[in-house]
Structure 1
Amino acid sequence: MATSNWARALAALALLAAAPATAREREGQVALTFDDLPALTIESNQGYIDDLNRDLLRKLRENHVPAIGFVNESKAEGAEHDRQVDNLKRWLDAGMLLGNHTFSHSSPNSLGAAAYAADIERGERITRPLMKAHGKKLRWFRHPYLEAGSPLAVRDWINRWLRDHGYRVAPVTIDAEDWEFAEPYDDAIAKHDVARQARIRQTYLAYTAMRIKWSQESAKALFGRDIAHVMLLHCTRLNADTLDALLKLLRAARLRPVTIDQAMRDRAYRTRDTYAEKDGVTWLERWAATLGKTLPSEGDEDPPAEIQAEYDRVDNDRVSPQNK
């Protein structure tokens, strides 16, 4: 993004943060979803992972915000198995839901349909019993990378398998690419670079404000109105540290956090979807492709170049980011 554009985005962020609360009857809805539990981080210290989960959940509860966390059970393997499972229990103890994000965070494009289904099934061995112990049923599934299967026959086979096994796919309509900011933020914390941490937080919030607006304008282009949104986030130190500010952005955008079940009652989610390309995209883009409609170009931008460069220095996995 050009410097002038980012100056405007930062100015808009300041205005959003100062905006007054809007009357309840004018509010829209948004479901907050957090991928890659127990955590997305480059930090291997288990205490760091435990703390970010505690802090994120504390802020969600303090703000009376419901959320769902999508689990990669491969992250609970190894010497820290018990503590990683404890983090999943923390989510349920806090009143949140858990969903399946596959065992290994692999794509159907690389595994093929049958192996992908096996990876989904393997990804519920811990989560399903935990949900049952808390009186809840494991029902929600999130595709890694938002890649749902290609070509159409493969996508449809996967969808049938998910339905037959009691799963419903969690869509995404707001995606601020938070994973790309999160790893440089971890790195800044590890290096005790407070100024860099502040810069990343500010840039992330400005980018997120822009993406929220793009999603709302895109919904209007498709449906003539805003819809109940589903926001993709990740379980990261960055989101734990910025959650209060993120919630201010949502309030300024007249979006009230609700459960994913509440958001999915919006009739927009019954829209026909024939998208079956390999690239994972938001549901707004899937619907636009199906309906032959064009989405706004303003705000449809990648994260700023300096963040991409920092991410590349920390994690050289840009072609297929490990935990997107």
Structure 2
Amino acid sequence: MRPSCSFRVFGLALALTPAAMAQTVAFTFDDGPKLEATPRLNPAQRNAALLAALKQHQVQATLFVTLGNGADRPEGLALARAWGEAGHLIGNHTVTHLDLDAAATTLASYEGEIQACDQVIRTLPGYRPWFRFTFLREGNTPEKRDGLRTFLQATGYRNAYVSLDTSDWRLDEAMRKQLARHPDADLAPFRTAYLAHLRQRSEAYRDLSRKLFGRDIPQVMLLHHNLINALFLGDALQQFKAMGWTFVSPETAFQDFIYTLTPQRPAPGQSLLLSAARSLGYRPEGWERLVDDGEADIQALVKQGVLPAAP
């Protein structure tokens, strides 16, 4: 059962008239480019692998730059520039990935990080005045939330919402820890878990969009500039093709009406669709899997004996 046929929660009436359309998805990558060392691939190799997979499948993506992860140094800035030169888009993800929901984070300090990041990335090809909230959290007080919205509007920045949130970072973290313990570890179970996780999240968020809006929306997916994507992004893109999904640019996806909404967020973080559901007091079936930060996937790997049980 879906919610009632029209909503005014966002100050707009949303008529839920089912519409048949092909499911589309836009790919975005946060926190890059990273210069940290990882097993198997060095920073330049990770960057090149991501770009190669996107090129092979003719996907235009967006890299949301966290300046302090590497783009504040010449070698890291070169990796970010490679995205723009390859035809991808560049957005803003602060300098240090601080948390606007943290009591110690002031509105002024957060705005300052956006401005500092902007000064660097606006020189890159593919730059867009798009901002992706760190942790997808928009502030722990109404003053922070409304103040940042005012700031973004005044500076011409778009809130680069996520509709299809994933916990790829959790699987990446677990995989890197496993490689630290066992450098020659077989990564096939992590590939399988990664692909299954993306499929589960994609199908769940597609179902949620249909329940909330009566149609498929162009999904904006959140992934990260990390090792697991460098290794298996090509497989993920092939999986989406096999599912019948087609790829669109983030610029095209953001033209959809739903990305103009500003739901009230009683819980921090998470996707635009979950925020909309929370604003409506609607709790979809399978909610727990969407908010568990990949815990179910990690526990499945523990049960398989791939990962050690937590002490």
User: Partners of 1:54 and 1:88 in 2: how far apart?
Assistant: 11
Instruction: Work out whether 1:96 is the aligned partner of 2:88.
Output: yes
Q: Give 1:139's aligned residue.
A: 129
Q: Give 1:320's aligned residue.
A: none
Counterpart amino acid of residue 193 in structure 1:
D
1:222-248: CA deviations, max 9, x gaps?
011121100000011211211122113
1:78-127: CA deviations, max 9, x gaps?
8xx22111101111111111110001100112212111111111122321
Counterpart amino acid of residue 89 in structure 2:
L
Contact kept, 8 Å, 1:214 with 1:296, in 2: the verdict is no
User: Partners of 1:310 and 1:186 in 2: how far apart?
Assistant: 14
User: Partners of 2:278 and 2:261 in 1: how far apart?
Assistant: 12
Contact kept, 8 Å, 1:31 with 1:230, in 2: the verdict is yes
Cα gap change, 1:307 to 1:193, in 2 (>3 Å): farther
1:129-182: CA deviations, max 9, x gaps?
12xxx3x44311101100011322321110110111121011111122000111
Contact kept, 8 Å, 1:29 with 1:228, in 2: the verdict is yes
3-state SS in 2 of match to 1:148: coil
User: Partners of 1:282 and 1:39 in 2: how far apart?
Assistant: 24
Q: Give 2:268's aligned residue.
A: 279
Aligned pair partner of 2:191 in 181, 198, 201: 201
Deviation of residue 306 (structure 1)? 7.0
Give the TM-score normalised by structure 1: 0.79
Counterparts in 2 of 1:1-324, with a 5 A limit?
A: 26-39=21-34, 43=38, 48-76=42-70, 81-110=73-102, 111-130=105-124, 134=125, 136-190=126-180, 191-195=182-186, 197-275=187-265, 277=266, 279-297=268-286, 299-300=289-290, 302=292, 303-304=294-295, 307=298
Give the TM-score normalised by structure 2: 0.82
3-state SS in 2 of match to 1:99: strand
User: Partners of 1:218 and 1:66 in 2: how far apart?
Assistant: 25
Structure 2 unmatched runs, 5+ = 1-19
Residue identity over aligned pairs, in percent, reads 30
Cα gap change, 1:310 to 1:251, in 2 (>3 Å): closer
Contact kept, 8 Å, 1:109 with 1:278, in 2: the verdict is no
Contact kept, 8 Å, 2:217 with 2:256, in 1: the verdict is yes
Aligned residue pairs, count: 281
Cα gap change, 1:253 to 1:184, in 2 (>3 Å): same
Counterpart amino acid of residue 101 in structure 1:
H
3-state SS in 1 of match to 2:122: helix
Cα gap change, 1:221 to 1:273, in 2 (>3 Å): same
- For the aligned residue pairs, the C-alpha RMSD in angstroms reads 2.8
Structure 1 unmatched runs, 5+ = 1-24, 317-324
Q: Give 1:7's aligned residue.
A: none
Contact kept, 8 Å, 1:101 with 1:143, in 2: the verdict is yes
